[in-house]
Amino acid sequence: MAVMQAKADALAARLAGARPDEGGWLGKARAEALARLAPMGLPGRRDEYWRYTDPASLTAPEPVSAAVFDAKAEPRPFTALDRLKVVFVDGQFDAAQSDDLALEGIEIERLSLAGHAANHWAANLYGVLEARGQTPVERPLATLNSALATEGVLIRVTGKPSKPVSLIYLRKSNNSDAMLHHCIKVESGAELTLLENGPAAARLSKVLEVDLADGARFHHIRTQGRDHERRAVTHIFARIGAQALFKSFTLTANGRLTRNEAFIELLGADAVAHIAGASMGDGDFVHDDTVFVTHAAERCESRQVFKKVLKNGAVGVFQGKILVKQGAQKTDGYQISQSLLLDDDSQFLAKPELEIYADDVKCSHGSTSGAMDETALYYLRSRGVPLKQAQSLLVLAFLAEAISEIEDEAIADDIRNRLEGWLHRHEH
Amino acid sequence: MLEITNLHVKLAEEDKVILRGLDLKIGAGEVHAIMGPNGSGKSTLSYVLSGRDGYEVTDGSAKLLGEELSEMEPEARAAAGLFLAFQYPVGIPGVGNMTFLRTALNAQRKARGEDEISAGDFLKLVREKAKTLKIDAEMLKRPVNVGFSGGEKKRNEILQMAMLEPKMCILDETDSGLDVDAMKLVADGVNALRGAGRSFLVITHYQRLLDHIKPDVVHIMAAGRIIKTGGPELALEVENNGYADILAEVQ
């Protein structure tokens, strides 16, 4: 009981003073989220799902003050790409820095302006996928976000827009506590590439609900901003229809705490879902990827590819699950989580899980943790490649499988350039 | 080119002594072969010269073009012109063969103060060299030595040698694991590089490689030292009679 009380107390403290707008479809969705949240409370270290990562700084009423990081002359990600920019500063929409939101084949609206619209499509999505994602494991921080988020984008894709939508999260305050909630609906046969980058806030909570109709295609590439002091918890909830394609890649560099959760449901036959992550931690940083993929239809393919490079006390966590439901025959599931530990101070904690209720499936999973291959290093050096360059080459080679999940070559190159920049700055 | 004097080497982590006063002098343009029974220290010699960790030079010296090798990092030795064709080439998943070759070539050029090779020139060069070694485009794209057959690995070593144009080449049992045709191909690759003052040290168990790569000098190594030196006929003697006679003779 003490544990339940602590969770309830944490929630009460967090909600104190919160006055979400109760009007319109959004107000209704927020009220529903609050009602669902009440019996859950907020997570604590004793929850099985938070065994490896302490959620205290994410659940606390106030964010821990976090110095804004000076990236100096380092170029921001995706700058060379033609894209539609939507800019948020410390969680607030910034009209001046954003592009015109009109683009053929796509409707983009701000959450804060759409909450009272009658018959809005997002009323059937906002908080709905998040609620589906509460079983079998509760994710109260996502519900908290549904209850309190005031800003985000609602994107409905009906065609094939000519360029990616790029959500840019800038941060100027040491104490900002941002909550963003995005809903994306890609209609049958439509396509969207979504880019996200930036630290967003001293503390960020972000929920992305993605609904893919039959035959829809969705590419998601994000970089989380290498601010040393920021903290973030993000959730992706995806519902994927028949023959639809979902691909998500995340690059995480440093950051005091990053918990990225994904809950992906393959609901129509022949659907594909790939989720990948490359992360690099140098110092007192925690990177946690917690992924749950459900196969609920025949002949679907899923891949989870997570690679972490850790040094100087960085901690990497991977909790990944593939659930194959009864009837989901011919499932092809793959999961790999690997860490490259560049010294003895770093740590990788992995919990790969498979739960299978169909008898004609192919599922494989692997998890490894190791140091850099000394023999390979010697081989490279014996050919004249200097030590640091050889190490960087091996780190990039280690991350290559995750990066290869990015289909667009220009975007993949941009990510590789960032990795090289990071490796150049962080001697190892 | 290479001058080794009274070289003593032990394993860094153990008290095991492997090389016990080895002397060897290879002049520019010369081809020397080293033969010897298992455990005589032949591979250790190649590792020590190329700078692999785990060995400790306790006495003596090894100089490449007058420069003491033990004071140089492996990459500096390579840039100075030393090349070891590995007995067991290392697989590097995730690093493409082309990327590897180009990175190595440019790193060496940079270390010598030369300009990097352009992408176009590099491609032309690597295609030309690969063709003579019967290495196809697909093999160049694959990760370094990953999924390569034994013969492909050895051909890939010779391709690297051809691209990097070293001054002093050490071939550590390059013939091991090769069938007759593959050995001929590899030997042709090596012979094509002979001349221009380039020197070779060929470590082998078998005379047959020396039928293809004809040495100027043959050394017999045992218990960490060179115990006998002669011409190509010495290899034939070993092939016919084994090492027993030579070992007995020396003792």
**Per-residue pLDDT tens over the stretch B150-201:** 888 998 999 999 999 999 999 999 888 888 888 888 898 889 888 878 999 9
- The dihedrals phi and psi of A275, each to the nearest 5 degrees, come to -135, 130
B44 CB contacts (<8 Å, ≥6 apart)?
Answer: B9, B18, B19, B55
pLDDT (0 to 100) of residue B143: 92
pLDDT (0 to 100) of residue A152: 98
A115 CB contacts (<8 Å, ≥6 apart)?
Answer: A21, A23, A24, A25, A26, A27
**Residue A20 pLDDT > 80:** no
B111 close to A (CB below 8 A): yes
One-letter amino acid identity for A143? T
Q: Which domain holds residue A128?
A: 2-373
In a domain, A369, yes or no: yes
**Per-residue pLDDT tens over the stretch A346-391:** 999 999 999 999 999 999 999 999 999 999 999 999 999 999 999 9
For the ranges B86-95, B180-189, B232-241, the maximum mean pLDDT occurs at: B86-95
The secondary structure of residue A74, as a DSSP letter, is P
Chain A 6-35, residues with CB within 8 Å of chain B CB atoms? none
Confidence of residue A1 (pLDDT cuts 50, 70, 90): low
**Residue A235 pLDDT > 80:** yes
Across B224-228, average pLDDT: 91
In a domain, A269, yes or no: yes
Q: Quick check: A397 and B50 CB within 8 A?
A: no
Confidence of residue A137 (pLDDT cuts 50, 70, 90): very high
Buried b (16+ CB within 10 A) or exposed e, B3-15: ebeebbbbeeeee
CA-closest candidate to residue A44, choices A3, A1, A12, A2? A3
Q: Quick check: B108 and A384 CB within 8 A?
A: yes
| Alpha-carbon distance values, B54 to A388, B21, B69, B116, B223 (Å) | 20, 19, 15, 33, 19
Q: Identify the weakest region by mean pLDDT among A403-417, B67-81, B122-136.
A: B122-136
Separation between Cα atoms, residue A89 and residue A98, nearest integer Å: 11
Helix residue ranges, H only, chain B: 42-50, 74-79, 97-111, 119-132, 137-141, 150-164, 180-193, 207-212, 233-241, 244-250
In a domain, A414, yes or no: no
Q: Quick check: A397 and B108 CB within 8 A?
A: no
Out of A384, A396, A397, whose CB is closest to B104? A384
pLDDT (0 to 100) of residue A236: 98
CA-closest candidate to residue A202, choices A89, A279, A306? A89
Structure tokens at B196: 């221009």
* Selected residue of B48, B86, B92, B171 to mutate for chain A interface (largest A Cβ count, 10 A): B92
**Residue A406 pLDDT > 70:** yes
pLDDT (0 to 100) of residue A75: 81
Q: What is the overall mean pLDDT for chain B?
A: 90
**Per-residue pLDDT tens over the stretch A270-285:** 999 999 999 999 999 9
| SS3 category, A412 | helix
pLDDT (0 to 100) of residue B166: 94
pLDDT (0 to 100) of residue A427: 58
| SS3 category, A349 | strand
Confidence of residue A425 (pLDDT cuts 50, 70, 90): confident
Distance from CA of A79 to the nearest CA of B (A): 25
Structure tokens at A256: 């005091």
A375 close to B (CB below 8 A): yes
Q: How much is the pTM?
A: 0.89
How many domains are contained in chain A? 1
In a domain, A396, yes or no: no
Separation between Cα atoms, residue B209 and residue B189, nearest integer Å: 13
Across B133-139, average pLDDT: 86
In a domain, A401, yes or no: no
Across A142-153, average pLDDT: 96
The DSSP H or E segment spanning A155 is strand A153-157
Q: What is the overall mean pLDDT for chain A?
A: 95
One-letter amino acid identity for A327? G
Q: Identify the weakest region by mean pLDDT among A19-23, A361-365, B226-230.
A: A19-23
pLDDT (0 to 100) of residue B12: 87
Distance from CA of B109 to the nearest CA of A (A): 9
Confidence of residue A180 (pLDDT cuts 50, 70, 90): very high
CA atoms in the 13 A half-sphere facing the CB of A237: 22
Give chain B's length.
251
Q: Identify the weakest region by mean pLDDT among A318-327, A379-388, B163-172, B227-236.
A: B227-236
Bridge partner residues of A257 (DSSP): A231, A286
Q: What angle do CA B147, B150, B151 make, to 5 degrees?
A: 110
pLDDT (0 to 100) of residue B149: 87
% pLDDT > 70, chain B: 100
pLDDT (0 to 100) of residue A308: 97
A–B CB contacts, 8 A cutoff, strictly below: 77
In a domain, A397, yes or no: no
pLDDT (0 to 100) of residue A18: 81
A395 close to B (CB below 8 A): no
pLDDT (0 to 100) of residue A28: 95
**Per-residue pLDDT tens over the stretch A217-233:** 999 999 997 788 999 99
* Selected residue of A338, A340, A382 to mutate for chain B interface (largest B Cβ count, 10 A): A382
pLDDT (0 to 100) of residue B38: 87
In a domain, A411, yes or no: no
Write out chain A residues lying below 8 Å of B92, CB-based: 373, 376, 379-380, 394, 397
Task: Render A351-372 in DSSP notation, one character per residue.
Answer: EEEEEE--SS-EEEEEEEEE--
Across A236-259, average pLDDT: 96
In a domain, A417, yes or no: no
